[in-house]
Amino acid sequence: MYGQTLTGKLLMFDAMTLQFREMKLPKNPQCEVCGGD
């Protein structure tokens, strides 16, 4: 495996500055698609 997965994170890329930004993206327990285990 290469590196780490982005589970629970959002990776944003700014093409103007050529920079990546990583933010935590918590799971929404009320979401019908991804909330359940």
| 19-34 tens-digit pLDDT | 999 999 888 888 888 7
Q: What angle do CA 1, 10, 35 make, to 5 degrees?
A: 95
pTM over cut 0.85: no
Pick the closest to residue 8 from 29, 30, 23, 18 (CA basis): 23
Cβ atoms 13, 22 nearer than 8 A:
no
- What value does the mean pLDDT of the chain take? 88
How far apart are the C-alpha atoms of 14 and 19, rounded to whole Å? 5
